[in-house]
Structure 1
Amino acid sequence: MNQRDICTETAACIADGLGTPWAVGPSEHGPGPGPRIVHPDGRVLLVGAPRMHPTAYVTIRAQMPAGGETYEPAPVSARADRGQAIAKDISRKLLPAYAAALDSARQHVQAEAHATARRQAAATHLAGLVPGGRWSWDHPDATTRVTAHLALPDAGRDVPVLARAWIGGAGETADLRIERLPLDIAAQVMRVLARAARAPASRPAGHAVDRHLEQLRRKAA
C-alpha cells in the first residue's frame, strides 16, 4: 500500500471513529497535507503523509485560519494501522485544545484585520497631506509605509527631500524619517512638536483615522 492509500484509508477510519458530522473532505492540491477530515462548524483535521520506518505513522494536525497558525495545538501522531482507535486519541487530546485554539486564532485574525484597516486609513490620510504622497505595505515588520519625494525651497534653490513614515500597531502612531530637510523647516517641525507637547489633549489618538474610516464606509455604502 502506498502513502496516498494509507492516508486515505486512515482518514476514513478516523472520520468513522469521530462519528457524524465529521466526514472526509477533498484533499489539498499539490504538496503538503493529504486528506482532510471536515466538520460543518469549520474545523478541519489534516492527515499528513505517513512516515515509514518500518511501520507507517501518521500525524493529524488541526488546520488554523491564515494568520492564526501560531495558535495551532499540538498534533497527534499514531500508527496508521490503529484505524478507528486513532479517533479516541484525537477526541481526548486534540479536539478539546482545537476548539479553544481556533477561537483564539479567529479573534486574532479579526483584530489584525481591524488593525490593518486602521493602518491603511492612517497611511491614506498622511499620504494625502503632501504632494505625490503614496503608501505601501512594509511586510517584514507588518507596518504601512508612506513615502513622499518633495522639492523644498532653501536659499533660492529647490532641495530634494525624502519623507517617510512607518505606521504600525493599530494606526495610532507613526515613526518619521525626513532626509535633507532644510534647517528652517526642521525648526518649524520642532516648534509644532513643542506646541503639541504643551497643548492639552482635545482629541483621542487616531481621531483623524477614525474619521477617514467613517468616510470610506459611507462611500462604500
Structure 2
Amino acid sequence: MQTAKVLSTPSPEEGVFAALDKLGVLWVDLFCHGMTVATNALLERKGSPTLFLTTAGFRDVLSIARQNRPSLYDLTQPKPEPVVPRHHCLEVKERCSAGGVLEPLTDAEIRRVVQEVGERVQRDGIRAIGVGFLFSFLYPEHEQRLGMALRQAFPELHLSLSCEVAPEFREYERFSTTAIDAYLSPALAGYLHRLAQGCRERGIPQPLIMQSSGGVTSIAQAA
C-alpha cells in the first residue's frame, strides 16, 4: 500500500493528478474516487444560480420550511437561508391533489414559463432549474411536460425534476432536495467531466465515484 498527500488546489482535479504524480503511478487497473466537492459547495454557498418553479401559491415553501428547529420556542432563532432565494422562485399555474388533477397545465402556460425562464437566464445568469409541483410523486405528468419543454429550450442548463429526484410525499422535503440537487449539479458535473478528461489524457481509466452509501457509481451517473 502506498499513500500520498498533496496541498489543496483551487481546481480539485489538479490535486488528484498531483497525488498520482507524487506516487509515480504508471499503470492503473481500477480508480475509485471519494470527494466532498458538492458538500463543500453547499456549506460555502458556492453552487450555481438556480431557479425553482413550483405550483402557484407555493413559492414560499422553501423559506417557510418546517416548524422543527434546534430551539423550538425561540422565535428569534434564524433559519438557514434556502439555496434558492425567493425572487428566483417562480409560480406555475397548475394544481394536483391526492385525488388527481385540479387545474391542468396548459400549453399556453408552458410557453409563458419558458419565456420567463429565458428572460431570467439572460438577466441573472441562471445555470440550473429545479421543478417541484404539488403531488408530483403521484401525478408526475405536469413536471414531465414542463421539463421536456425546458430541456428543449435550454439544453445547456441542468434541470432537476422532483418526480425524478425525490418522488416522495411532503412538499418541503421534496422541494428542498430538488432545489439542492439543481444548485449543486453544475459544479459537480463540471468537476467530474474535467476529471474524466484528465484521465483520458493520462491513459488511465475513469474513476468510479464513491457514494454516501459506501458503494461506487460511474462518472456519468454521479454527474
TM class, shorter-length: under 0.3
| TM-score normalised to structure 1 length | 0.25
Q: Larger Cα Rg: Structure 1 or Structure 2?
A: 1
TM-score scaled by length of structure 2: 0.25
Which one has more relative contact order, counting CA pairs under 8 Å at least 6 apart?
A: 2
The structure with the greater share of residues assigned to strand is 1
